[in-house]
Amino acid sequence: MNFGLTSEQEAMLHHVRTLLDDVCPMAYAARCDEAQKPPREAFDALARNGWLGLIAPEEYGGAGGTPTDLALLLEETGNHFEELGLWLFRNFTYGCYAVLKHGTEEQKRRIVPGTVKGELSFAFALTEPDSGSDAAALRTRAVADGDDFIINGRKQFTSGMDIADYALVALRTNDLGKKQLGISTFLVPTKTPGIEVRRIPTLGQHAIGTTEVTFTNVRVSRIALLGKLDEGWSICEDTLRYERLCLSAARIGAARRAFEFALDYAKTRHQFGKPIGSFQVTQHKFADMKVMLDTAQTMIRRYAWLMENNQAQRADTAVIKYYIGESYKTISDMCLQILGGYGYCMEYPMQRFFRDSRLATIGGGTSEIQKNIIAATLGL
Ligand SMILES: Cc1cc2nc3c(=O)[nH]c(=O)nc-3n(C[C@H](O)[C@H](O)[C@H](O)COP(=O)(O)OP(=O)(O)OC[C@H]3O[C@@H](n4cnc5c(N)ncnc54)[C@H](O)[C@@H]3O)c2cc1C
């Protein structure tokens, strides 16, 4: 395994970084967060420059990039604005990866080119009010009606639903004893009559955030079905694995930005006649954070390599999701402490990292569930 980047990857990083420095500086991210406004201008700039097609094959208008390329792009995007990274991740995971891997040719041709151009956005609706960690216990139902299905029920925490064109929705289509059986996944157009979306006020993730979605007699055509009827749970699991690569990459980028901001601050803020970075207790905080960041980056590169070589196991995904989520949370907390009272002020950016990072150990599967998965693979 080679840890170095190819010259194409170096050039890609340079291009993305320069573009994002221009269209997504920290002040822009702060404005989007404060105004609760999606970073549309930055998203459109990435689309115009072809980045939203990174992983799609050339025949669908994409660049045929690898999981390592994707991790690099999302890390850099997350470094500028985590929520922009998460918007991209949803499109890559549900609008490209899931459709390309599990969709029919008709679905690929109908959806992927629009995703690549940034004309379509996506959400994932798995969680329900009574099924979070126990996601397979979901109850929202799709019942066949001729060539259509009728959906009734409620989804909780469907992020980005209010800016999405399609939601990948996991639905109960049959009762077959075991809860993982009888689930199907549908690509539901979000403007279908009978869908009601309510934004949920949250601690962080204010620019795009999350929603509650109610389905009342929502009629979708059979062509919305992704994969085989009643066999959607394996698609959910597969998609969650891909999601955890993307989320983790974006979060390393965000953690690195909090670290860099605090480092600059520690070098210039003076107390007792010295920079606060000259106190050993502060230096040790930075040393601990540097170890976490380096470990996280090595883990993500390794995981992307495993994916490229079809060797990624369930526990590998849980390991990165757990470690990187916890590290991001710890790093943003330490950085806030380094800024002292200014870390606590809304006029400084650290509070946004602190608020946003709190989700990293919850969304996409809690840290406890990741540890359960890891332990189960140890035969416990
Ligand atoms: C801002 C936000 C965005 C989100 N975005 C999406 C999205 O886009 N799509 C989507 O489908 N979902 C999304 N989620 C849902 C998220 O994945 C769930 O919140 C998460 O999986 C936990 O489910 P829960 O909140 O119902 O908590 P619960 O499952 O009720 O868990 C509560 C606590 O109990 C612990 N616990 C539960 N079971 C076990 C166990 N077996 N062993 C040990 N501990 C356990 C949990 O770790 C947690 O600490 C989002 C959530 C938030 C807050």
From the CB of 205, is ligand 1 less than 6 Å away?
Answer: yes
Give residue 299's identity as a one-letter amino acid code.
M
Task: With a cut of 80, say whether residue 77 has pLDDT above it.
Answer: yes
From the CB of 89, is ligand 1 less than 6 Å away?
Answer: no
Q: Which of 131, 215, 357, 362 to mutate to test the pocket of ligand 1 (most atoms within 8 A of CB)?
A: 362
For residue 204, the ligand 1 atom closest to its alpha carbon is: 1
For residue 368, the ligand 1 atom closest to its alpha carbon is: 47
Q: Which of 88, 127, 128, 361 to mutate to test the pocket of ligand 1 (most atoms within 8 A of CB)?
A: 127
- Topology (CATH level 3) of domain 234-376: Butyryl-CoA Dehydrogenase, subunit A; domain 3 (1.20.140)
Task: With a cut of 90, say whether residue 158 has pLDDT above it.
Answer: yes
Q: How far is CA 166 from CA 99, 190, 200, 274, 335, in A?
A: 12, 5, 19, 55, 37
From the CB of 362, is ligand 1 less than 6 Å away?
Answer: yes
The per-residue DSSP string of 333-361 comes to HHHHHHTGGGGGSTTSTHHHHHHHHGGGG
- What is the structure's pLDDT at 167? 98
From the CB of 343, is ligand 1 less than 6 Å away?
Answer: no
For residue 134, the ligand 1 atom closest to its alpha carbon is: 29
> Atom 1, ligand 1: which residue's CA is nearest?
210
| CB-based contact 127:156 (threshold 8 Å) | yes
Q: Number of helices (H) and strands (E), helices first, in the chain?
A: 12, 10
226 Cα to the center of ligand 1, angstroms: 24
- For 124-230, which CATH superfamily applies? Butyryl-CoA Dehydrogenase, subunit A, domain 2 (2.40.110.10)
The model's confidence at residue 271, banded by pLDDT at 50, 70 and 90, is very high
Report domain 7-120's class. mainly alpha
- Residue entry with tokens 């974006």: 250
* pLDDT tens profile 304-361: 999 999 999 889 999 999 999 999 999 999 999 999 999 999 999 999 999 999 999 9
363 Cα to the center of ligand 1, angstroms: 6
215 three-state secondary structure: strand
From the CB of 322, is ligand 1 less than 6 Å away?
Answer: no
Tell me the two tokens of residue 51.
Answer: 């980045």
Give the integer Cα–Cα distance in Å for 272 and 277. 12
* pLDDT tens profile 176-223: 999 999 999 999 999 999 999 999 999 999 999 999 999 999 999 999
* pLDDT tens profile 101-117: 999 999 999 999 999 99
70 Cα to the center of ligand 1, angstroms: 26
* pLDDT tens profile 355-370: 999 999 999 999 999 9
Give the integer Cα–Cα distance in Å for 46 and 77. 10
From the CB of 94, is ligand 1 less than 6 Å away?
Answer: no
The full set of domain ranges for the chain reads: 7-120, 124-230, 234-376
Q: How far is CA 110 from CA 122, 193, 224, in A?
A: 14, 21, 11
Task: Residue 160: name the closest of 105, 217, 202, 116 by CA.
Answer: 202
**What is the DSSP secondary structure assignment for residue 131, as one 8-state letter?**
B
From the CB of 194, is ligand 1 less than 6 Å away?
Answer: no
The CA-based dihedral angle spanning residues 76, 79, 80, 83, taken in that order and rounded to the nearest 10 degrees: 100
Average model confidence (pLDDT) across the chain: 97
What mean pLDDT comes out for the span 139-145?
98
From the CB of 365, is ligand 1 less than 6 Å away?
Answer: yes
